[in-house]
Amino acid sequence: MMSGLFLLLGFFASSALLAQPPPVYDILIRNARIVDGAGNPWYRGDVALSGSRIARVGDLQGLSAARTIDAKGLTLAPGFIDTHSHAIAGIQTNPSAENLIRQGVTTVLEGQDGGSPLPLGPFLDRLSRLPIAINYASLAGHNAIRRAVLGTENRHATPEELKKMRDLAIEAMHQGAFGLSTGLFYVPGNYAPTGEVIHIARGIAPLGGIHISHMRDETAGIVDSVRETIRIGEEGGLPTQITHHKMIGKAAWGLSRDTLRLVDEARARGVDVTIDQYPYTASSTGTAALFPQWSLAGGREALAERLAAPESRAKIKAEIVRRIVYDRGGGDPGNVVMASCAHDEALAGKSLADLVRARGLDPTAEHAAETAIELQLRGGCSAIYHAINEEDVERILRHPFTMVASDGGIPSFGVAAPHPRSYGTFARVLARYVRERRTLTLEDAIRRMTSLPAQRLNLQDRGLVRQGLRADLVLFDPQSIQDHATFLDPHRYAAGVHSVWVNGVLTLDEGKMTGARGGQVLRGPAYRAPAP
């Protein structure tokens, strides 16, 4: 009798289990401090994920899921959006983007500083077939467009050439670009008058395009450069953004008061101008930045010809000396440190002063200029320039329309000596400027990393913890999140991020990469899918 009773009870238990509906949700995150991305105060709640979307937000007691995560003591926020990225090379060789995922970055905007693939569409199509861990969006680069039409000639465009450039920008918008980037400091963009950029901007404005600019001058002439960036937006009829805003060289220190005033005045009269910034006191770009732009027209062979002529060589060297003393060199050749040199990997991590001493010479600006010339003739290097003031960094960061951006990429781990911003930007803001210095509140810092850039890019389904939006999320410990990458030891991942979801795909799980990749190629507002 007893054995029959047990069998009967077992049958009913099994039937009850079979009758229970399967879990409704894929992931249920409980007891999190939710920072929603809009700047609202944090609140405690639960979030349920289903597929690629946020299914529900709030008090979700009684719900079930395939997996439940107890987030007690942790903060849940939207995935961070990096509005200035150079991930184009790294995303193809290191598609897991671990340096970004470990900071909580789920979306990047590429095509910066005037540089992008051209045509853009075929590149985005190829990338969309590669499983990537992060979402990837791109601008169309004005320098790439100008180079396609005029090469690297130092002259104004003809009316026919202006039309060709405008048509190329419109074509890029239809292929998925989010707008136009300018690199007016770089060749050949530096040779373009403001009116050229405005003409192109007017072509993409009706298509929902934006403009983001590496300005002509981030040193003593920065105030005029900000005026130009604002003018492009105002006369071009589109949103405009000052990218990686900084004051390089002592002559520019403190001028952020004037540039931010110009931004406020422009916004007051209806110009949609914003800012992005990385939180470091050093910049990074090629050694070509030490050369006068006129000397770079026509490429390396043309530069070599100019350097072979004593008179033009003297002018070029004098300008390099000036830039070392008053500009990017911060007054000391030791402030210019090689990040990578394709022609000699051993130079990574060495400063201009180190290289001069290795030749048995005193590290004067004049000797450093000669060394810079030799490097450039051999193909140039990527370098780090220590010449930014911390007070300007904090002043710019506090501005309400400044968002966080890395200006970094996806380095090959352990290779060369890149700027630490590639590994630490977003964690550094949360550690140094929120937790330690209290420059920003946690909620405001998250807003600058999520909803503000999403709004700028018109990404209506990302940037907030909201029901129905894409499940790009980061779960982290605000008390332990920390950047560890330094200029001397740059290849160090950030710590303190617990889990990351990209389009609902769990990419970082309790601090460990899962190998799953849920990233997507994002297309801009004017995208036209090619005919089948």
CATH number of the domain encompassing residue 51: 2.30.40.10
Do 297 and 348 share a domain, yes or no? yes
466 lies in some domain: no
CA dist 448 and 162 (Å) reads 36
Do 108 and 238 share a domain, yes or no? yes
Torsion of CA 107, 283, 177, 168, to 10 degrees: -170
Section 42-48 average pLDDT: 98
Do 36 and 170 share a domain, yes or no? no
Strands 25-34 and 43-50: antiparallel
520 lies in some domain: no
Where does the pLDDT of residue 532 fall: very low under 50, low under 70, confident under 90, or very high at 90 and above?
A: low
Kindly state the DSSP code that residue 436 receives in the 8-state scheme: I
Domain of 82 in residue numbering reads as: 78-281+388-458+479-513
Contact 496, 424 (CB under 8 A): no
- Judge whether residue 21 has pLDDT over 70: no
Number of domains within the chain: 3
521 lies in some domain: no
| pLDDT, greater one: 230 or 19 | 230
Q: Domain end: 27, 46, 76, which one?
A: 76
Q: Domain end: 57, 76, 95, which one?
A: 76
Do 413 and 318 share a domain, yes or no? no
Q: Tens digit of pLDDT for each residue in 484-521?
A: 999 999 999 999 999 999 999 999 999 999 999 999 99
Section 168-196 average pLDDT: 98
Residue 518 to residues 88, 107, 128, 411, Cα–Cα distance (Å): 17, 11, 11, 20
Do 96 and 232 share a domain, yes or no? yes
161 lies in some domain: yes
Where does the pLDDT of residue 15 fall: very low under 50, low under 70, confident under 90, or very high at 90 and above?
A: very low
Beta strands in 483-522 (DSSP E): 497-502, 505-509, 512-513
Do 369 and 487 share a domain, yes or no? no
Alpha helices in 151-254 (DSSP H): 159-174, 194-204, 222-236
| pLDDT, greater one: 531 or 432 | 432
300 lies in some domain: yes
- Judge whether residue 81 has pLDDT over 90: yes
Do 276 and 347 share a domain, yes or no? no
Q: Domain end: 76, 91, 124, which one?
A: 76
Do 357 and 503 share a domain, yes or no? no
Do 99 and 213 share a domain, yes or no? yes
- Judge whether residue 92 has pLDDT over 50: yes
530 lies in some domain: no
Do 96 and 221 share a domain, yes or no? yes
pTM: 0.94
525 lies in some domain: no
Do 134 and 268 share a domain, yes or no? yes
Do 152 and 217 share a domain, yes or no? yes
| pLDDT, greater one: 17 or 96 | 96
- Judge whether residue 53 has pLDDT over 90: yes
- Judge whether residue 387 has pLDDT over 80: yes
299 lies in some domain: yes
Where does the pLDDT of residue 530 fall: very low under 50, low under 70, confident under 90, or very high at 90 and above?
A: confident
Q: Tens digit of pLDDT for each residue in 265-310?
A: 999 999 999 999 999 999 999 999 999 999 999 999 999 999 999 9
The CATH code of the domain that includes 418 is: 3.20.20.140
Six-digit token string for 512: 């460990």
